[in-house]
Structure 1
Amino acid sequence: MVNILEELKYLDNAATTKLDNRVLEGMMPYFTDLYGNASSTHKLGEKSKSAIENARKEISSAINCNTSEIIFTSGSTESINLAIKGFVESNSHKGNHIITLKTEHKAVLETLRYLETKGIEVTYLDVDSSGIISLEELLQSIKETTLMIAIMYVNNETGVIQEISKIGEIAKERGICFFSDSTQAIGKIEVDVDALNVDMLCFSGHKISGPKGIGVLYIRDGIEITPQIHGGSQEFGLRSGTYNTPLIVGIGIAVKIASNEYKKNFEKAIQLREDILEYFTKNNIGKMAFQRDNTVPNIISIELNDIDAEEFLMFNSSKFFASTGSACNSGLQISSYVIDAIFKNERKQIIRISI
């Protein structure tokens, strides 16, 4: 009898998603007939530019911001580097301290470790056993020199949701820039930049059935950052390089679909999560590692009973595809630093199922 895991087969959507056919269809003309450079002033170029601005409009509408606040990049990793390095470079005269979490994505952690070699002081906050930050500890860690708070909305390994709006309020009251990696939040829970009190926010197309190689960085009007790629004046002078029109069109369509179908997808994810959990508990294989109320329904951390996580996935590798953590650690035979930070190095056998 085929179980729910075998029926779904692909359970690694937090790593990447299948391209939606509607997105592919919308992109195709810009690979073939409408191939003009969006910076060119002739009609073919103008059509590409118009398509880009339409995508910018769709995205700004989805997250409640101005079109001038949307910057297209190659993905969240580039967006993170541009946001953090660019802000530090433009505002280093105001301070040299950044606050983040030990459970952030490696793109944030490695960027900050690089900046530490340039004289930036970084505070890496702990999370509790639920993966949640202590707001009191955050308050205590703020200094007169604190430039930025960088905390992700939804953790990519655990699905844990941070209290972003409250963190944003704390930053706003103290005049501190607040950046949030929202790669795993967009399309899964509501993302409204005003309600969240964020100054900068990023996400990637391939996490929401859009194309790989394209991402978004939201920068609130008035926030100054220094470009990290120099050349032409594309993207309001903040990100030079020839516009990748097909991919920009693709992420615009993907965001629109995610917004329009959010309620349906959310309810479906909740039902699938319960079906998956029932399979693990009924068969005495494992249980949910984190509370439902603190996580998005599409990322499910399963704590296995008396079985090694890697062995479990290897044994079932012909039946379904899942992972033990972030795809960014692929090939590294080490325990997850996120799980270690949450459970304080207590050995846990956890697999990530993402639907």
Structure 2
Amino acid sequence: MDRIYLDFNASTPVDPRVAAVMRPLLETAHGNPSSPHWAGGPARDAVERARAKVSGLLGAEPDEIVFTSGGSEANNLALKGVFFAHRHRGDHIVTSAAEHPATLEVCAFLERMGGQVTYIPVDRQGRVDPDDLARAITARTLLVTLMHANNETGTLQPIEACARIARDRGVLFHTDAAQSVGKVATEVNRLGVDLLSIAGHKLYAPKGVGALYVRRGTTLEPLIHGAGHEAGRRAGTESALLTAALGEACALASDLAPMRGVQDLRDALWADLQKHFGNRVMLNGHPEHRLPNTLNVGFVGLVGTDILARLPEVAASTGSACHAGLVELSPTLRAMGVPPEVGMGAIRFSLGRGTTSAEIAAVVGRLVEVLG
């Protein structure tokens, strides 16, 4: 059996079209984008073309895009930036109990800095109740941060409804869209968000680059201080190479048509698993409000890491890639109230644009061989 990659939520390969955009910049964009002379021009042009492509995907303006080193930095800039810039009028943040560590760990840090954080629950399918959010907001609330799509289960949050509640109360709203960009629509005005995080390596760009959308008029304290790069919002010389890669990836991601085929393959995988394993396999996540590429299933009474150890040809995950390898119930599944006998057997299969029906059939065949 050939090796099969079904861990696209952890990281994607660099799209050949993205690599093609990067290649000439290795030789022609060695100047500093901030330099006014001839050597800085090509680098500056590459960065600004990339900024326009990222903003185009999000339905934003180019000056609302801040390039970062990835999704974690974008989340840190959003949460810490709001907290420290607006601390004179509040100290409270609202998030959910099922966020990525790149949000939860920032919230824990801000609590150590004197902040107050409310963690609203999620239901059995991983969704928050907008009414819980409305009850959690106080006069001291500065920010609501809810991920658009969960990295483990693919569950989509009701971002539009939640952002409307925050806006009506005069509270800023941030969403971590690292998993959703390129898979579902992520136009910022439709979502109603003030801040939105992107991670390049989740959408066929290299690791080491991301972006934060910052709605005009939103004030942030910089996370990295120095010179006035990125309109004073993120110090550090921009990488023409990496920003160009992210820009091209975002341009490609604006076409969501390939995701329909990916969803068909995901649904075929789930149907085959149900056919062969019946009530020995359970779905973790929302059956409808879910990323089109993500299938998180629990093999009842088994341990996911043990199953994958018997399938060395298959790259998949037993939970978030950021804390994979720990033989314990995923914090996300625990927050959802998934029983241990189901959650311990969880495997996340996340498909990509290059996944084939033959690969899906091969994975199901191997699971039948291994599990009977």
- Give TM class, smaller chain: over 0.9
Tell whether the 8 Å contact from 2:329 to 2:340 is kept in structure 1 after alignment: no
CA drift at 1:34: 2.5
1:24 counterpart (16, 19, 34)? 19
Q: Which runs of 5+ in 1 are unaligned?
A: none
Find the counterpart in structure 1 of residue 68 from structure 2.
73
Could you tell me how far apart the structure 2 residues matched to 1:149 and 1:291 are?
Answer: 22
Counting only pairs closer than 5 Å after superposition, residues 111-122 of structure 1 correspond to structure 2 as: 111-122=106-117
1:337 matched to 2:331? The reply is yes
SS of match in other structure, 2:314: coil
CA drift at 1:176: 0.2
Tell whether the 8 Å contact from 2:262 to 2:293 is kept in structure 1 after alignment: yes
Moved more, 244-253 or 326-335: 326-335
Counting only pairs closer than 5 Å after superposition, residues 265-304 of structure 1 correspond to structure 2 as: 265-284=258-277, 286-304=281-299
Tell whether the 8 Å contact from 2:156 to 2:291 is kept in structure 1 after alignment: yes
Find the counterpart in structure 2 of residue 323 from structure 1.
317
1:201 matched to 2:201? The reply is no
Tell whether the 8 Å contact from 2:317 to 2:324 is kept in structure 1 after alignment: no
Across the aligned residues of Structure 1 and Structure 2, the Cα RMSD in angstroms comes to: 1.4
CA drift at 1:281: 1.7
Find the counterpart in structure 1 of residue 152 from structure 2.
157
Q: TM-score, normalised by structure 2?
A: 0.90
1:352 matched to 2:348? The reply is yes
Could you tell me how far apart the structure 1 residues matched to 2:296 and 2:340 are?
Answer: 16
Give the aligned residue type for 1:58. K
Counting only pairs closer than 5 Å after superposition, residues 35-50 of structure 1 correspond to structure 2 as: 35-50=30-45
CA drift at 1:345: 5.7
Tell whether the 8 Å contact from 1:277 to 1:287 is kept in structure 2 after alignment: no
Could you tell me how far apart the structure 1 residues matched to 2:325 and 2:346 are?
Answer: 17
Find the counterpart in structure 1 of residue 215 from structure 2.
220
Find the counterpart in structure 1 of residue 181 from structure 2.
186
Could you tell me how far apart the structure 2 residues matched to 1:10 and 1:288 are?
Answer: 21
Could you tell me how far apart the structure 1 residues matched to 2:220 and 2:29 are?
Answer: 33
Give the aligned residue type for 1:172. R
Could you tell me how far apart the structure 1 residues matched to 2:338 and 2:347 are?
Answer: 17
Q: How many residues align?
A: 347
Percent sequence identity is 35
1:105 matched to 2:100? The reply is yes
CA drift at 1:332: 3.2
SS of match in other structure, 2:117: strand
CA drift at 1:344: 5.7
CA drift at 1:189: 0.3
Could you tell me how far apart the structure 2 residues matched to 1:330 and 1:293 are?
Answer: 26
> After the TM superposition, which segments of 4 or more aligned residues of structure 1 sit over 4 Å from their partners?
none
Give the aligned residue type for 1:188. K
SS of match in other structure, 1:283: helix
Q: Which runs of 5+ in 2 are unaligned?
A: 352-372
Could you tell me how far apart the structure 1 residues matched to 2:306 and 2:350 are?
Answer: 19
Could you tell me how far apart the structure 2 residues matched to 1:268 and 1:46 are?
Answer: 41
Find the counterpart in structure 2 of residue 131 from structure 1.
126
Give the aligned residue type for 2:271. E
Q: TM-score, normalised by structure 1?
A: 0.95
Task: Tell me the alpha carbon deviations over residues 73-113 of structure 1, each in whole angstroms, 9 at most, x when there is no partner.
Answer: 00010111111101111101111111000100101100010
Could you tell me how far apart the structure 2 residues matched to 1:159 and 1:331 are?
Answer: 20
1:61 matched to 2:60? The reply is no
Find the counterpart in structure 2 of residue 232 from structure 1.
227
SS of match in other structure, 1:293: coil
Tell whether the 8 Å contact from 2:77 to 2:222 is kept in structure 1 after alignment: yes
Q: From the superposition, tell whether residues 330 and 290 of structure 1 become closer, same or farther in structure 2 (CA, over 3 Å).
A: closer
Find the counterpart in structure 2 of residue 177 from structure 1.
172
Tell whether the 8 Å contact from 1:99 to 1:150 is kept in structure 2 after alignment: yes
Tell whether the 8 Å contact from 1:130 to 1:342 is kept in structure 2 after alignment: yes
Tell whether the 8 Å contact from 1:280 to 1:287 is kept in structure 2 after alignment: no
Moved more, 141-150 or 337-346: 337-346
Tell whether the 8 Å contact from 2:100 to 2:151 is kept in structure 1 after alignment: yes
CA drift at 1:40: 1.3
